[in-house]
Structure 1
Amino acid sequence: MSAVSLAFLGLGGLSLLLLLASFRFRHLGRLGRLGHLGHLGRFSHRLRLPGRRSQGFSLPVTSGFLGGFGFGGAIAIEATHRSGPAALLVGAVAGVVVGVPLAWAAGRFVAAVAGMHTDATPESAGVVGAIGVVISEIPVGGLGQVRLSYAGQPMKFNARADGPLALGVRVLVIGVPTPTSVLVTPLQAVLNLEEGS
């Protein structure tokens, strides 16, 4: 293996270190100012060029280019069995041909992950109308507990009702006085009212 191939492989290896650094320093950058590490964390997110809008030169994009340039160049040199200046030229051309699309793909991937749609944060007011079950008896004028399916997860809420409710009674949430408590009514009573209408 020629020295030129080793140099290109070294650039490819550097790209892997940059990729690891982008994960590490991005995490440190979110913690606030930690000396130079915090500044590197913010740098890893986006590099601003003078006189231009924010460009997509993040560490993952740079790492993608260097990886494609280094490893692509080394493969091209070894595949063509070139040496000296010809090896450098072949490696550089092949590196750019492989590195540019890889950098673009890395940028698109990072942008897609950063802009990924997430569900809205569930709010306790969203449980009005939910059906649950009493898991701790609800006394007259006191608090008991109910289990509801909330945002796809079973959750416990403190509960009040107009009358006492025994363990295991199915209930309907009719109000949310606080984020951790609900007003409930027996589900059977609601169903009987609908049948009588």
Structure 2
Amino acid sequence: MTNAKPDTMQAAAIDRFGGAELVTVRAVPVPEVGPSDVLIRVEVAGVASWDALEREGRYDGAFGMPSTFPYVLGWDCAGAVVAVGGQVSRFKEGDRVYAASMPVPKGGTYATYAVTDADNVSLIPAKLTIEQAGVMGWDALTALSGLEEIGLKQGDTVMIFGASGGIGHMAIQLAKRLGARVLAVASGDDGVALSRRLGADAIVNGRNGGRS
């Protein structure tokens, strides 16, 4: 393991569950780096709809362990590897990576540094900006899990509602990579244009009665 791990970091954290006014920026300890972990210096952190639910305590205990405070939110990030655990061989200090991980038990990504298991980390592809990589992880995983749930395979046809949304636009691209024909219901002229650019085979505009 590299020896670059700092002792403290800045984080947006809460001391109890509740509203957004409870989130404050303060110094907190950097989580310990376990044998299979990667420590990332966060440059981009994703902000998602479920963060508000988590902040309110609706996920308390949902992941099989009690919540501890200060509680750092955030499930997505991108940045540079600062340190790795002794069992990690896929990454090294300085690698540009992105990660999608639930914050329990080692804290979230609204922080200067984030620690997560190496299985949750990937190198940033050359065609992606760090901003894109930092916010796409859970949306992409959600879209992929939906396609896997219906058993989508090459030659199938799938209809994607909300095709121009955060998860929908990922679903278009993943479905096309699987070799499927994609029918898209998008939102507005700009949503139709985005869906077309991403490869949808047929698109309707959900805002004007289906005219694309």
TM-score range, shorter chain: under 0.3
Task: Give the alignment's TM-score, normalised by structure 2.
Answer: 0.21
Task: Give the alignment's TM-score, normalised by structure 1.
Answer: 0.22
**Which structure has the higher relative contact order (CA within 8 Å, separation 6+)?**
2
The structure with more strand, counted as a fraction of residues = 2
Instruction: Report which of the two structures shows the higher radius of gyration computed on alpha carbons.
Output: 1
